[in-house]
Structure 1
Amino acid sequence: MTKDRRDQASRPLDARMLRALAHPLRMRMLELLQADGPATATGLGKRVSESSGTTSWHLRLLAEAGLVEEDSERGNKRERWWRSVQKSTRMRAADFINDPDLAAPLDMFLRSVIEQRYQAESQFASEVAQWMDQWHDHAVFTDARLSLTPEEAAAMSAEVDAVIDRYRRDTRPGDHNVIAHWSAFPRQAQPEKPDTATSD
């Protein structure tokens, strides 16, 4: 029996998908479908403050790229429902960095990912009081600065991904929708140089 594509926890992006996601609105719509489940173009339009015609057009582009599909189990001739094909996507910059035609889509995608993370964390910060009964010492925002080789950083990321995969499971009663953000990237050090000027 063929495995349902929706069973895929994560799919790597290809060039076609990257081009489709090189748009903040399409990124936001896909995020909503992955986080909250199937929706109509009208429902998505209300959540992203766009017309149903606009969201319908963007949904078709996402479908052409293989990122969403029509939910045949819902809707009718007047109302089409859409669902994400996968629970999440993953991207390796190395797959696209040497293609000059993908430079702009890659830049837009990465910036949209960063903006989505900022929005999600800002939303939690604005709602923190309502979560404190159950999440007062469980929500974590960690910033670590390490000295690593590229190979060590890759190994660390693989270990973190393995930990996250261990916690993937179907939703159970009492669960909350939890976002786990993870990134590891280099920063160019800019140490202050000592003042070599002699004083009188």
Structure 2
Amino acid sequence: MPEISEPRPEGEQPRSIRLTDPRALRAYAHPLRMSLVGLLRSSGPFTATKAAELTGESVASCSYHLRILAKYGLVEEAPGGKGREKPWRATARYTEWPEYSEDATVAEAADALMAAIAERYFERVTRAMERRHTLPRKWREAEQFSDSLLFLTPEELTGLGEQMGALLRPFEGRESDPSLAPEGARAVSVLRIAYLEQDIPHNKEAE
């Protein structure tokens, strides 16, 4: 299931929100909106004014896009604040959407969102590589840049994704509760991308 990452008054926020409306999928594909949701998950809640400081966009633009995100349930108003200085927070820690749909409109919107996110991943990795020379040696050695070519069935690939998710899950929640993170922990983005290599011949036709 695709995923991209504070306590609420009534308890812990949901782990993920699932988008199935093609209008919501298209709305979320906007680069600034994805940035705002990501920042709210890691540094929120905050106001449109703070959002403008973090993104370099205007307050009016951030306010508009936050309202669009709220329309589709990705963000919501947080307690406190006055007038235009009302704070916003993310409604969940991750976003999910259909990987496959019989509805062509949903499938098209989901594919467009995946393309936008892939572009965002590329930009973030490129930026990390440009700054990598400033990192201490232990972080440079710990970072991972590699790929593997595996011959798998759809069921095996699904199972592999579930195992990866299970390995990462114990580390979730540290961003909203710093007390869970050990000394020396820093924010690390872990990307999971697995796609079918259609240019490599195979011995048997996939069923």
1:32 aligns with 2:39: yes
| Aligned-pair CA distance for 1:18 | 1.9
Q: Given the superposition, is the C-alpha separation of residues 165 and 124 from structure 1 closer, same or farther in structure 2, using an over 3 Å criterion?
A: same
Task: Show the counterpart of 1:185.
Answer: 195
Task: Show the counterpart of 2:123.
Answer: 119
Task: Show the counterpart of 1:197.
Answer: none
Q: Given the superposition, is the C-alpha separation of residues 106 and 148 from structure 1 closer, same or farther in structure 2, using an over 3 Å criterion?
A: same
| Aligned-pair CA distance for 1:190 | 4.7
CA contact (8 A) 2:20 2:98 kept: no
State the Cα deviation string for residues 124-176 of structure 1 (Å, max 9, x = none).
Answer: 11221222244132111221111111111001001101111122243234321
CA contact (8 A) 2:20 2:106 kept: no
Post-superposition, which runs of at least 4 consecutive aligned residues in structure 1 deviate over 4 A?
none
Helix, strand or coil for the counterpart of 1:102?
A: helix
Q: Which runs of 5+ in 1 are unaligned?
A: 192-200
Q: Given the superposition, is the C-alpha separation of residues 3 and 186 from structure 1 closer, same or farther in structure 2, using an over 3 Å criterion?
A: farther
CA distance in structure 2 between the partners assigned to 1:4 and 1:18 by the alignment: 27
Residue type of the partner of 1:99?
D
CA contact (8 A) 1:12 1:89 kept: yes
For 1:94-105, what aligned pairs fall within 5 Å after superposition? 94=100, 97-105=101-109
Residue type of the partner of 1:184?
A
1:76 aligns with 2:82: yes
Task: Show the counterpart of 1:52.
Answer: 59
Residue type of the partner of 2:72?
A
Q: TM-score, normalised by structure 1?
A: 0.81
CA distance in structure 1 between the partners assigned to 2:162 and 2:140 by the alignment: 29
Helix, strand or coil for the counterpart of 1:89?
A: strand
Residue type of the partner of 1:87?
R
State the Cα deviation string for residues 35-58 of structure 1 (Å, max 9, x = none).
Answer: 332222122234333321121111
CA distance in structure 2 between the partners assigned to 1:3 and 1:149 by the alignment: 43
CA contact (8 A) 1:23 1:108 kept: no
| Aligned-pair CA distance for 1:86 | 1.3
CA distance in structure 1 between the partners assigned to 2:77 and 2:113 by the alignment: 24
| Aligned-pair CA distance for 1:5 | 5.5
1:141 aligns with 2:145: yes
Q: TM-score, normalised by structure 2?
A: 0.79
| Aligned-pair CA distance for 1:103 | 4.1
Q: Given the superposition, is the C-alpha separation of residues 41 and 78 from structure 1 closer, same or farther in structure 2, using an over 3 Å criterion?
A: closer
Helix, strand or coil for the counterpart of 1:117?
A: helix
CA contact (8 A) 2:17 2:92 kept: yes
CA contact (8 A) 1:22 1:106 kept: no
CA distance in structure 1 between the partners assigned to 2:133 and 2:116 by the alignment: 28
Q: Given the superposition, is the C-alpha separation of residues 128 and 180 from structure 1 closer, same or farther in structure 2, using an over 3 Å criterion?
A: same
Of structures 1 and 2, the larger Rg is shown by 1
1:88 aligns with 2:81: no
| Aligned-pair CA distance for 1:123 | 2.0
Residue type of the partner of 1:61?
I
Q: Which runs of 5+ in 2 are unaligned?
A: 1-8, 202-207
Over aligned residues, Cα RMSD in angstroms? 2.2
